[in-house]
């Protein structure tokens, strides 16, 4: 166990002797033993013992100690004012943080101040703006296995629930296949997950923090109750028990993380039956309800273009592929012209989940087309959207009662641009945009309320007044009037008293300790009237009060205090009233987000000269795929270099397997990815980098990059490669687009070729997937000639004056020979080495230099044992599955060694 977590040993040994405060710390550490407890002591959050030692090192803060009669304990503290940045570092170091605040004023109690965990900060449940990326969601996930009940079949499904606590986005899905769920997980990249008792944690990627949590919240009945308390009948909403379990558990976890269990603060004094290790007591989290969770969206992974983790990475959706690649060298980097955080997140969601349904895709294309056509509308919308605050997180804060008056004003400022945005869309034509116009609800009632109630530039503090506008509340105005009159009376006092006493230097002043006073310098003390009472003696003067001044002062202070309280009350009322409109605000936020994302797509389309792709009906290509691209470009590569050579692609059920050859660096990988990216962009609803494009929507994109090309990923084993290929061969179908980039390289050439060939045949004959296969195995091009739906493409290079010139132009047919040797010449490799390479290349079986020796040895089969040679000859390579091939090779190799 990490010594920074759980109750410190040094305290546990003598819990009952500890001082009350240290016992509190010990007990909180025991209850929240998955987190580092930050324990408020005055203006600091303190940690002790192991946690102190760890935080001191991580946060570079001083390690001190606290000594009392029971011993000396290491201690390290962080200032509360600056806590967020420290908390962030603790999160980055892989910790969760439980923040234990003092929940009563030190003056209110005779004993030790009560402390309670008021929030638990974990990577997946952040709501603090400072800790969140504005343009992307931050998800926490739950996974649960379904166990059937009497009423539902015992389908062994795995479900995934995803929640962004900061925005209220809540999604659920399930599948009979664990791999499908793993793919969904990688789509959303949750930062943290809770895992049901019988669910496999290995569907989660390594970066995802797994948080242990009370198994009981995953129970079908309990989870169902939790879900229904938010969204109504879970059976009507969700598709399986597994989903209900996952959603219920996730809600319970979000409630737990939101507020810990501060019964102390709520003062209900109920005794917990299970103090330790069971963070959530049944049905007792009312105070932590997340009111802004108003919708739960259930989806089927098959409703969207499926992208597994490898495809997400290799198509550079969100992360650059090259290790030292430019940050923005990604699809989202190219497309993101959004003006506000809402739009940024929407665009990312669209990229993550490209559509399948042609009507839905075309609705987006229509809108993008219309916006592309009008520079003015586009630019005005963009300008207006820049003034839109992050409404989703704003309304979340308002609803969680964590918003201040400035947040309300930000909401109001956002509402103020809505009518202008509606005007921009006044002449909108297509359905999507006219619908959006109607969804842009200006929430005039909310805006008026905030306008009337809250001053234009309120302070951050919400308890110290200065928030509520004049004229909003008669009581408040009265109190302010009283205070004002009193102050006026005091302002006039100086002149009155100077006249009455004849002391010209008499002054009326104020200080925070003694309040108002009348100051008279020593030479004038004789003239002081009777009703002056001495308050304070200074070096050169005396300060006095009068009973009347005192009375006025009390009146002012009283009125001001009551005014502050009244303001706080009024502010909370306004905040609650606004919170009641959470659904409308969320709907508006969604409309603004959608508009921003569409404008962004249109801006990118106009800026980079994209075209509108034509989407073919799913039936158009006989259940297969038709991909017809003229002058296509790689959206990311074309942005990172000066010129780019466009290339077309023509794939159909009759021509669905392309074997692509060409020397290194000629453009094979770029070409294949650009085809996939164009397809993906089209299904996102974007225009595409091409002169023209016609496409049937693709159900799944698989990409596999040969082990030799994935050195950065550190996964160079041939086995991994084969394993990934096996998935494709099993899961792909005629609506899949498969990219194979130099697979079968992780082993010696002969094996690699055998396997590449077997895979090609299988994809062609059995799977029927549309496949682009870049390979250095030239014999594959011959194979392509024999398979009716296969064909060859190649990249040619020229050599002039010993220099290799890349045209990056795709051409029909196979490349002639490997240019590796020529490239070596051009690079200045010594003549003798190049000559020897030529010799080797010209030998009958193609081989790589590393196999040369072996090749020589067995060149005439002389030294190959007859039995092995016979077996090899007998092998029907064309009909081997990859796994068979492997097994066979392994056996033959053993035979040889014997």
Minimum distance from residue 594 beta carbon to ligand ADP (Å): 34
CB atoms inside a 10 Å sphere around CB 592? 28
Could you tell me how many residues of this chain bind Mg ion (CB under 5 A)? Answer: 1
Minimum distance from residue 638 beta carbon to ligand ADP (Å): 8
CB atoms inside a 10 Å sphere around CB 856? 13
580 in the Ramachandran plot: left (φ > 0), alpha (ψ -120 to 50) or beta? alpha
Q: Does 329 bind ligand ADP (CB under 6 A)?
A: no
Which of Mg ion, ligand ADP, none is residue 667 near (CB under 5 to 8 Å by kind)?
Answer: ligand ADP
Q: Measured from the CB atom, is 49 or 660 closer to ligand ADP? A: 660
Q: Measured from the CB atom, is 290 or 796 closer to ligand ADP? A: 796
Which of ligand ADP, Mg ion, none is residue 783 near (CB under 5 to 8 Å by kind)?
Answer: none
Whole-angstrom distance between the N-terminal and C-terminal Cα of the chain? 50
CB burial of residue 537 (10 Å; 0-12, 13-18, 19+): exposed
CB atoms inside a 10 Å sphere around CB 506? 24
Interstrand relation of 209-210 and 192-195 (parallel, antiparallel or unpaired): parallel
Q: Measured from the CB atom, is 669 or 736 closer to ligand ADP? A: 669
Site for ligand ADP in 793-822 (CB under 6 A): 808
Q: Does 760 bind ligand ADP (CB under 6 A)?
A: no
State the binding string over 535-574 for Mg ion (x if CB under 5 A, else -).
----------------------------------------
Q: What is the dihedral of CA 567, 569, 572, 574, to 10 degrees?
A: -70
Q: Measured from the CB atom, is 322 or 895 closer to ligand ADP? A: 322
Residue listed under structure tokens 């085809």 = 675
Tokens of 564: 């502050």
Interface residue with ligand ADP among 641, 802, 828, 876 (CB under 6 A) is 641
d(CA 331, CA 859): 49
Residue by residue, DSSP assigns 143-167 as: EEE----SSS-----EEEEEEETTT
Tokens of 354: 């490209």
Q: Measured from the CB atom, is 669 or 674 closer to Mg ion? A: 669
Nearest to 645 by CA among 792, 811, 422: 811
Q: Does 666 bind ligand ADP (CB under 6 A)?
A: yes
465 in the Ramachandran plot: left (φ > 0), alpha (ψ -120 to 50) or beta? left
Q: Where are the extended beta strands (E) located within 430-540?
A: 507-511, 515-521, 533-537
Minimum distance from residue 777 beta carbon to Mg ion (Å): 14
Which of ligand ADP, Mg ion, none is residue 670 near (CB under 5 to 8 Å by kind)?
Answer: ligand ADP
Minimum distance from residue 841 beta carbon to ligand ADP (Å): 18
d(CA 49, CA 160): 38
> In which element (H, E) is residue 513 found?
none
Q: Measured from the CB atom, is 77 or 667 closer to ligand ADP? A: 667
Select the span of 124-132, 418-426, 526-534, 663-671 touching ligand ADP (CB under 6 A).
663-671
Select the span of 475-483, 573-581, 640-648, 684-692 touching ligand ADP (CB under 6 A).
640-648
Give 507's strand partners. 519
Interface residue with ligand ADP among 435, 557, 665, 852 (CB under 6 A) is 665
Buried b (16+ CB within 10 A) or exposed e, 742-758: bbbbbbbbbbbbbbbbb
Which of ligand ADP, Mg ion, none is residue 637 near (CB under 5 to 8 Å by kind)?
Answer: ligand ADP
Q: Measured from the CB atom, is 200 or 648 closer to ligand ADP? A: 648
Q: Measured from the CB atom, is 120 or 705 closer to Mg ion? A: 705
Site for Mg ion in 635-694 (CB under 5 A): 669
Q: Measured from the CB atom, is 285 or 669 closer to Mg ion? A: 669
Q: Measured from the CB atom, is 541 or 669 closer to ligand ADP? A: 669
Interface residue with ligand ADP among 55, 338, 541, 670 (CB under 6 A) is 670
Select the span of 12-20, 197-205, 666-674, 834-842 touching ligand ADP (CB under 6 A).
666-674
Minimum distance from residue 706 beta carbon to Mg ion (Å): 9
Q: Measured from the CB atom, is 641 or 853 closer to ligand ADP? A: 641
Q: Is 329 helix (H, G, I), strand (E, B) or coil?
A: coil
C-alpha distance from residue 311 to each of 527, 579, 700, 729 (Å): 92, 41, 10, 15
Angle at 410 between CA 404 and CA 415, to 5 degrees: 135
CB burial of residue 760 (10 Å; 0-12, 13-18, 19+): buried
Q: Measured from the CB atom, is 172 or 739 closer to Mg ion? A: 739
* Cα-to-chain-centroid distance, residue 246: 19
Interface residue with ligand ADP among 102, 374, 652, 664 (CB under 6 A) is 664
* Cα-to-chain-centroid distance, residue 333: 15
Q: Measured from the CB atom, is 544 or 644 closer to ligand ADP? A: 644
Which of Mg ion, ligand ADP, none is residue 837 near (CB under 5 to 8 Å by kind)?
Answer: none
Minimum distance from residue 640 beta carbon to ligand ADP (Å): 8
d(CA 461, CA 468): 12
Minimum distance from residue 669 beta carbon to Mg ion (Å): 3
Q: Measured from the CB atom, is 627 or 793 closer to ligand ADP? A: 793
Helix extents (H) in 145-287:
178-188, 220-231, 234-237, 241-259, 263-266
- DSSP state letter for 454: B
Interface residue with ligand ADP among 146, 632, 667, 706 (CB under 6 A) is 667
Q: Does 637 bind ligand ADP (CB under 6 A)?
A: yes
Q: Is 645 helix (H, G, I), strand (E, B) or coil?
A: coil
Sheet-wide strand order for 515-521: 507-511, 515-521, 541-545, 533-537
Q: Measured from the CB atom, is 21 or 645 closer to ligand ADP? A: 645
Nearest to 362 by CA among 110, 683, 653: 683
Contact assessment for residue 30 and residue 7, using Cβ atoms and an 8 Å cutoff: yes
Q: Measured from the CB atom, is 211 or 818 closer to ligand ADP? A: 818
Tokens of 387: 């003034």
Q: Does 775 bind Mg ion (CB under 5 A)?
A: no
Q: Find the residue with minimal CB distance to Mg ion.
A: 669
Select the span of 104-112, 329-337, 551-559, 638-646 touching ligand ADP (CB under 6 A).
638-646
Interface residue with ligand ADP among 25, 39, 230, 644 (CB under 6 A) is 644
State the binding string over 588-627 for ligand ADP (x if CB under 6 A, else -).
----------------------------------------
Buried b (16+ CB within 10 A) or exposed e, 796-813: bbeeeeeebebebebeee
Minimum distance from residue 806 beta carbon to ligand ADP (Å): 6
Q: Is 554 helix (H, G, I), strand (E, B) or coil?
A: helix
Minimum distance from residue 662 beta carbon to ligand ADP (Å): 6
Q: Does 645 bind ligand ADP (CB under 6 A)?
A: yes
Sign of CA dihedral 670, 676, 681, 682: positive
d(CA 209, CA 139): 11
Q: Does 248 bind ligand ADP (CB under 6 A)?
A: no
Minimum distance from residue 329 beta carbon to ligand ADP (Å): 11
Q: Measured from the CB atom, is 546 or 674 closer to ligand ADP? A: 674
Q: What are phi and psi of 261, to 5 degrees?
A: -130, 85
Minimum distance from residue 754 beta carbon to ligand ADP (Å): 23
Q: What are phi and psi of 262, to 5 degrees?
A: -95, 65
Q: Does 662 bind ligand ADP (CB under 6 A)?
A: yes
Which of Mg ion, ligand ADP, none is residue 393 near (CB under 5 to 8 Å by kind)?
Answer: none
Residues that bind ligand ADP (CB under 6 A): 637, 641, 644-645, 647, 662, 664-670, 808
The binding site for Mg ion (CB under 5 A) comprises 669
């Amino acid at each position: 166990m990490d010594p920074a977590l759980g109750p410190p040993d040094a305290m546990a040994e003598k819990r009952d002797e500890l001082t009350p405060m240290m016992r509190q710390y010990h007990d909180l550490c025991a209850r929240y033993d998955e987190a580092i407890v930050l324990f408020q002591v005055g203006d600091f959050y303190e940690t002790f013992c192991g946690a102190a030692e760890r935080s001191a090192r991580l946060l570079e803060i001083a390690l001190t100690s606290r000594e009392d009669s029971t011993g000396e304990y290491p201690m390290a503290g962080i200032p509360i004012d600056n806590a967020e940045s420290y908390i962030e570092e603790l999160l980055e170091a892989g910790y969760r943080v439980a923040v234990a605040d003092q929940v009563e004023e030190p003056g209110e109690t005779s004993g030790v101040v009560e402390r309670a965990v008021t929030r638990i900060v974990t990577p997946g449940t952040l709501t603090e703006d400072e800790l969140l990326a504005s343009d992307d969601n931050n998800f926490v996930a739950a996974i649960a296995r379904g166990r059937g009940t009497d009423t539902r079949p015992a389908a062994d499904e795995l479900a995934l629930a995803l929640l962004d606590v900061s925005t209220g986005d809540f999604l659920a899905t399930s599948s009979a296949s664990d791999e499908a769920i793993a793919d969904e997980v990688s789509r959303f990249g949750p930062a943290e997950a809770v895992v049901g008792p019988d669910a496999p944690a290995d569907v989660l990627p390594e970066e995802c923090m797994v948080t242990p949590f009370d198994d009981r919240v995953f129970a079908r009945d309990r989870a169902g109750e939790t879900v229904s308390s938010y969204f109504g009948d879970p059976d009507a909403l969700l598709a399986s028990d597994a989903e209900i379990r996952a959603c219920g558990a996730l809600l319970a976890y979000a409630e737990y993380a939101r507020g810990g269990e501060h019964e102390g603060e709520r003062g209900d004094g109920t005794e917990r039956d299970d103090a330790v290790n069971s963070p959530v007591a049944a049905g007792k989290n009312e105070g932590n309800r997340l009111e802004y969770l108003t919708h739960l969206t259930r989806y089927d992974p098959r409703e969207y273009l499926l992208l597994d983790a490898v495809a997400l990475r290799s198509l550079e959706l969100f992360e650059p592929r090259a290790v030292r690649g430019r940050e923005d060298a990604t699809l989202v980097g190219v497309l993101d012209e959004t003006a506000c955080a809402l739009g940024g997140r929407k665009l990312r969601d669209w990229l993550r989940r490209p559509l399948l349904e042609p009507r839905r895709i075309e609705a987006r294309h229509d809108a993008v087309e219309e916006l592309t056509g009008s520079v003015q509308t586009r630019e005005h919308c963009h300008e207006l959207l820049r003034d839109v605050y992050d409404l989703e997180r704003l309304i979340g804060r308002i609803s969680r009662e964590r918003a201040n008056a400035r947040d309300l004003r930000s909401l109001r400022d956002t509402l103020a641009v809505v009518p202008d945005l509606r005007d921009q869309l006044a002449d909108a034509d297509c359905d999507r945009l006219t619908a959006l116009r109607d969804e842009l609800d200006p929430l005039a009632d909310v805006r008026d309320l905030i306008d009337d109630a809250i001053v234009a530039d309120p302070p951050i503090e919400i308890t110290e007044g200065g928030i509520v506008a004049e004229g909003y509340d008669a009581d408040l105005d009265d109190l302010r009037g009283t205070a004002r009159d009193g102050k006026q009376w005091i302002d006039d006092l100086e002149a009155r008293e100077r006249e009455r006493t004849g002391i010209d230097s008499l002054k009326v002043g104020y200080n925070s300790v003694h309040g108002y006073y009348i100051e008279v310098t020593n030479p004038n003390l004789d003239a002081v009237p009777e009703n002056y009472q001495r308050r304070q003696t200074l070096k050169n003067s005396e300060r006095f009060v009068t009973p009347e001044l005192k009375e006025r002062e009390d009146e002012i202070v009283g009125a001001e205090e009551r005014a502050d309280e009244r303001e706080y009350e009024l502010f909370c009322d306004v905040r609650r009233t606004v919170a009641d409109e959470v659904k409308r605000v969320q709907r508006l936020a969604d409309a603004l987000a959608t508009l921003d994302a569409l404008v962004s797509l249109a801006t990118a389309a106009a800026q980079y000269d994209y075209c509108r792709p034509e989407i073919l009906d799913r039936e158009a290509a006989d259940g297969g795929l038709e991909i017809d691209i003229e002058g296509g470009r790689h959206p990311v590569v074309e942005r990172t270099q000066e010129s780019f050579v466009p290339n077309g692609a023509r794939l159909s059920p009759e021509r669905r397997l392309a074997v692509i050859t060409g020397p290194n660096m000629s453009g094979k990988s770029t070409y294949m990815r650009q085809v996939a990216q164009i397809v993906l962009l089209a299904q996102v609803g974007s225009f595409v980098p091409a002169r023209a494009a016609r496409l049937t929507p693709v159900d799944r994109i698989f990409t596999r990059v040969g082990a030799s090309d994935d050195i950065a990923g550190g996964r160079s084993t041939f086995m991994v490669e084969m394993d990934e290929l096996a998935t494709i061969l099993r899961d792909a179908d005629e609506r899949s687009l498969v990219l194979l980039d130099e697979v079968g390289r992780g082993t010696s050439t002969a094996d690699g070729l055998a396997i590449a060939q077997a895979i090609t045949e299988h994809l062609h004959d059995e799977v029927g997937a549309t496949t682009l296969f870049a390979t250095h195995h030239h014999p594959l091009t011959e194979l392509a000639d024999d398979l009716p739906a296969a064909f060859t493409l190649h990249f040619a290079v020229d050599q002039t004056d010993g220099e290799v010139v890349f045209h990056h132009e795709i051409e029909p047919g196979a490349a002639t020979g490997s240019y590796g040797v020529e490239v070596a010449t051009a690079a200045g490799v010594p003549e003798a080495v190049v000559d020897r390479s030529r010799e080797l290349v010209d030998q009958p079986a193609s081989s790589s230099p590393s196999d040369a020796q072996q090749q020589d040895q067995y060149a005439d089969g002389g030294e190959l044992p007859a039995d092995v040679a016979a077996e090899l000859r007998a092998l029907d390579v064309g009909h081997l599955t990859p796994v068979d091939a492997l097994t066979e090779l392994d056996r033959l190799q053993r035979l040889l060694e014997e």
